[in-house]
Amino acid sequence: MPNGPEPGTTTYAERTLRLAGRTGSAAPQPWPPWFAPARGVLGAAVFALGGAPWPARAGDLTGALLCVLAAAFVVVHYVAVRRSRVLAWSGDGGGTWERLTPTLVQAALYGAGWLLAPPLGRTAGALASGALLGATLWTQTALHDARARAARRAADAG
């Protein structure tokens, strides 16, 4: 197979999309109920801990904790995406602007949290930006999941 799979063989993506079409998965898949809170809390913890200054003697412990939290953040996303079966759905979310808006909102609120840094210090800026980012991740994930569940009910009913 130097130039790709043999004719007639199916790849994982083809099998997944075929299964999705057979099971009526035209509607977005809802994520597990624990995903929104886990994404928000872990995102807030990683970004708040990563941006705050820490005393030298706590540096190693803080670095290890940051690595564990960052790994947990990635694992939570991996598990949720694997359970939803389809990684990306063409046309989902409209055009480029509609797909970029949630990320731009996250970035803007994360940056807004850092506005507390000049008057109150770097720790306050890191905590505020982490909290705002975590709340945004949680809210956006919960809203997406509510829309996906409503679309799934409509697709199942009709």
How confident is the model at residue 52, as a pLDDT? 84
Inside any domain, residue 68: yes
Inside any domain, residue 91: yes
- pLDDT score of 53 more than 50: yes
DSSP conformation letters of the chain: -TTSSPTT---HHHHHHHHHHHTTTTSPPPPPTTHHHHHHHHHHHHHHHHHS---GGGHHHHHHHHHHHHHHHHHHHHHHHHHHS-S--TTTT-SHHHHHHHHHHHHHHHHHHGGGHHHH-HHHHHHHHHHHHHHHHHHHHHHHHHHHHHHHHHHHH-
Inside any domain, residue 155: no
- Per-residue model confidence as pLDDT tens digits over 78-112: 888 777 655 554 445 567 787 788 889 999 999 99
Full domain range(s) for residue 53 = 32-144
Inside any domain, residue 85: yes
